[in-house]
Structures are given as C-alpha cells and as structure tokens.
C-alpha cells in the first residue's frame, strides 16, 4: 500500500493506492490496483477541523444516488462519455471508506502542479457543462433529490475561522498598501472588507435557506479545481479527456460556483484575462447542446442569465481572487509544504501575498475588475 496523492492536493481525506491479489473462477491469482479513500484518522488539527462536515456522506450519496442517474441519461441517449472514476465500494461503518478503480492504470493522471491552461480549461468546461445540464434536466423535470445537496464546508462558520480564509482578504488589503502603484485600489477593497465578504460567500453556499434568486441553478461539483481532474493524454501530450473526482463538496446552487472556480483554478493567468468570455461561451454552447441531446423539453437558460449571475454573486469571485488564488499561485511556483501549515497560522499564509507572480497578475486584473463593476 502506498500514498495515493500529494500532501497539498487534498485536505478532506486520506488516499491510498493498494495492489491486491485475488483468485479467479479459473483458480488463477491476479492483481488489481485500487484507490482507497478514507477520513483522516490521526489525531490533530486536520481531523478536528473536518469533524461534523459530512464530506463523506455527501460523496457516498453522490456515487450511490446521483451518478447512476447521470449515467442512465447518457446510456439512454447512447452517449458513452465518462464522468468520473467507477466506485466499487462505499461504507460508513465502522469507518468512512470509498474504493475506486485506479484510473492511473487506464493512463489517466493528475496535474503535476497547480498550473492550468486554456487547453485543459476548454475540455474541463465541456465535461462540467454536461454534468450541469444533466442536473438541470433532472430537477426541471421533477426530480427534487438533487436539491438536498444544500450545504458544504463553505456553508460552515468553521471554515472562515481558519487562517487562510480568516486573514486572506485583510492580507490582500495590506499587500495593496505596500505597492505604490496599487494604492488606488485600497479604498475600494477596504469598503468591500467592511461589508463582510465572507458572510456573503457563506450565504451563497446556504442557497436554499437564503432563497437566493439565481437565474442558472444546477448541481455543482463544488470543488472544481485542477487537482480534482484526471487527464488522459494523447501521444505528444495533448489532453484527450478529463474525468471529475472528489464529490465531497457537491452542492445545489448557481452554476457560477463551479464556473468561477474553473476560471481561477484551471485556466492560466493569461487565458483568465484574455479568454474568460470565450470559456464561458463555450460552456453555454456545450450546456445547450447537451440539453438538446438528452431531450430536455423545458425552457433553455440564456447566456445573459449566466452573466447576470456572475454580477449578482461577484463577492465569490473577489473572495477567490483575494484568498484562494494567492495559495494556488504560490504552490504552482513552489509546490512544497502541505495544507496543514495553511490551516494552523497566518505567518505562512502572508507569504502568498509576496509572490511576484500573484503581484503581477493583480496588476493586470484589477483594472478589469474595476471597470466591470466588481469593486462597487
């Protein structure tokens, strides 16, 4: 048995790769590689933080109830594209555990670091649009089970007390004050900070409770970043397919939850600035085409509806930009350390805002955010 992921890739679980021997009906001994996913079992901050979060309950329900519905839709329409890994076993007692096929043996692999690209983003958004469209069809045709995914870790106070999320926005404001050419933005972000952006993000992730009026509502993957994708590459390194993994944060709510995550955690900096509208339009086209293929008979949402939701929930984008992107940029440039450090103190988190790549990106994107009304 060996470790199945890098330290900085996943915080909500412990993953192992196991090679097992088994006997066949023909009395032959064969081997199979499996991925085992379970809850953190070593006493410490990670285990304490995750207690009561129901991450595995969500993921097991996704594999037992939701994914089969999606697969049936695809099968009925003779659409053979895969969504994710096959779950072979799930248990809640005596321990939470999930056992999957090892996608690595099918030549799928994880991203080597947190660096994204246009190529990856484009194929990832196609798979995401398929996922969203199937959930949209199910709910709009009377299946209300998907709306039961009403909360995830972003719905909980505990998350916002961790150093990265508690101090991220203030750290960003302090960074602006230290850069003479960025001081013009200080008053804008101080005003945003005074309006408690964390509470607005938390309200979004309590979508059903707060009766938010979004235009484009789906079952979100909920944690749609590059480390939760598995890539199949052709000869020459071109990405042929991606599969989604890790459904612990799946949540019913505005589609901009996943799309904002994709823009900031899967696209590279240049594509995020210059091709943002293009990736959103590609999502819209794939979403619409999927609804047509799976014979959805209701009203199709409009692209303008999606852009309205981006403005309505702009606090999520500001939050990801000021809190999560600094972490991703730092770990992309220097993939060392682990998430345990981030969850324990602010000293390490502060170093994210000294990263030259993040400073350079901030200089490029802040005028766009200002001119688009995101800093109002």
Per residue in 242-291, pLDDT tens? Answer: 999 999 999 999 999 999 999 999 999 999 999 999 999 999 999 999 99
Q: Cβ distance 352 to 173 under 8 Å?
A: no
Is the distance from CB of 214 to CB of 207 less than 8 angstroms? yes
pLDDT of res. 279: 98
pLDDT, greater one: 113 or 155: 155
Q: Establish if 264 belongs to a structural domain.
A: yes
35 inside domain: no
Closest CA to 79 of 232, 305, 290, 248: 290
pLDDT band of 46, cuts 50, 70, 90: low
Find the domain containing 273 and state its range: 109-371
pLDDT: is 12 or 38 the higher one?
38
CA distances from 2 to 14, 17, 118, 337 (A): 11, 5, 33, 19
Number of domains, the chain:
1
What integer is the mean pLDDT of 200-204?
A: 93
Q: Are 84 and 67 in contact (CB under 8 A)?
A: yes
The pLDDT, as a whole number, for residue 343 is 59
In a domain, 353, yes or no: yes
Q: Is residue 362 part of a domain?
A: yes
pLDDT of residue 90: 93
Residue 51 pLDDT? 74
Three-point CA angle 221, 121, 289, nearest 5° = 70
Cα R_g (the chain), whole angstroms? 21
Dihedral, CA of residue 262, residue 63, residue 246 and residue 10, to nearest 10: 160
What are the b/e assignments for 178-194, b being 16+ CB within 10 Å? eeeebeebeebbeebbe
Report if residue 241 sits inside a domain.
yes
Read off the DSSP letter of residue 64: I
Instruction: Give Cα separations from 8 to 127, 246, 328, 339 (angstroms).
Output: 24, 15, 10, 5
Among the ranges given (8-22, 294-308, 359-373), the one the predictor scored with the smallest mean pLDDT: 8-22
What's residue 48's pLDDT? 65
285 within domain boundaries: yes
Instruction: Provide φ and ψ at 259, rounded to 5°.
Output: -65, -35
Would you call 203 helix, strand, or coil by DSSP? helix
Contact in structure between 157 and 336 (CB atoms under 8 Å): no
Q: List beta partners, residue 37.
A: 15, 98
Residues in the chain: 376
* pTM metric for this prediction: 0.92
Banded model confidence at residue 207, pLDDT cuts 50, 70, 90: confident
In a domain, 79, yes or no: no
Helix extents (H) in the chain: 45-50, 55-61, 67-76, 118-140, 157-160, 163-178, 186-194, 197-204, 207-210, 256-265, 269-274, 276-293, 303-312, 314-319, 325-333, 339-344, 346-350, 356-371
Residue 94 lies in a domain: no
CA torsion sign for 114, 369, 352, 11 is: negative
């Amino acid at each position: 048995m060996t470790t199945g992921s890098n330290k900085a890739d996943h915080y909500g679980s412990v993953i192992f790769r196991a090679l097992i021997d088994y006997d066949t009906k023909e009395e032959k001994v064969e081997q199979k590689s499996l991925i085992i996913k379970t809850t953190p079992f070593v006493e410490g901050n990670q285990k304490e933080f995750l207690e009561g979060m129901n991450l595995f309950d969500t993921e097991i329900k996704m594999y037992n109830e939701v994914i089969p519905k999606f697969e049936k839709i695809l099968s009925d329409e003779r659409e053979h594209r895969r969504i994710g890994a096959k779950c072979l076993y799930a248990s809640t007692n005596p321990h939470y555990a999930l056992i999957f096929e090892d996608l690595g043996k099918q030549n799928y692999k994880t991203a080597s670091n947190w660096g994204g690209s246009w190529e990856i983003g484009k194929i990832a958004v196609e798979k995401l649009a398929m996922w969203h469209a199937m959930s949209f069809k199910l709910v709009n045709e009377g299946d209300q089970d998907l709306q039961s995914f009403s909360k995830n870790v972003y719905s909980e106070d505990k998350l916002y007390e961790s150093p990265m999320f508690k101090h991220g926005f203030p750290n960003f404001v302090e960074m602006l004050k230290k850069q003479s050419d960025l001081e013009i933005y200080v008053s804008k972000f101080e005003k945003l900070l005074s309006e408690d952006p964390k509470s607005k993000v938390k309200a979004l992730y309590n979508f059903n409770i707060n009766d938010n009026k979004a235009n484009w509502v789906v079952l979100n993957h909920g944690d749609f970043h590059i480390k939760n994708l598995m890539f199949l590459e052709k000869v020459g390194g071109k990405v042929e397919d991606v599969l989604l993994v890790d459904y612990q944060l799946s949540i019913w709510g505005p589609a901009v939850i996943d799309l904002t995550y994709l823009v900031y955690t899967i696209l590279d900096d240049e594509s995020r600035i210059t091709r943002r509208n293009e990736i959103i339009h590609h999502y819209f086209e794939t979403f619409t085409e999927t609804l047509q293929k799976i014979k959805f008979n209701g009203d199709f949402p409009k692209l303008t509806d999606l852009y309205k939701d981006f403005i309505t929930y702009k606090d999520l984008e500001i939050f990801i930009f000021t809190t999560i992107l600094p972490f991703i940029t730092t770990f992309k440039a220097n993939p060392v350390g682990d998430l345990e450090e981030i969850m324990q103190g602010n000293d390490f988190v502060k170093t994210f805002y000294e990263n030259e790549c993040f400073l350079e990106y901030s200089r490029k994107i802040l005028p766009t955010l200002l001119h688009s009304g995101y800093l109002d």
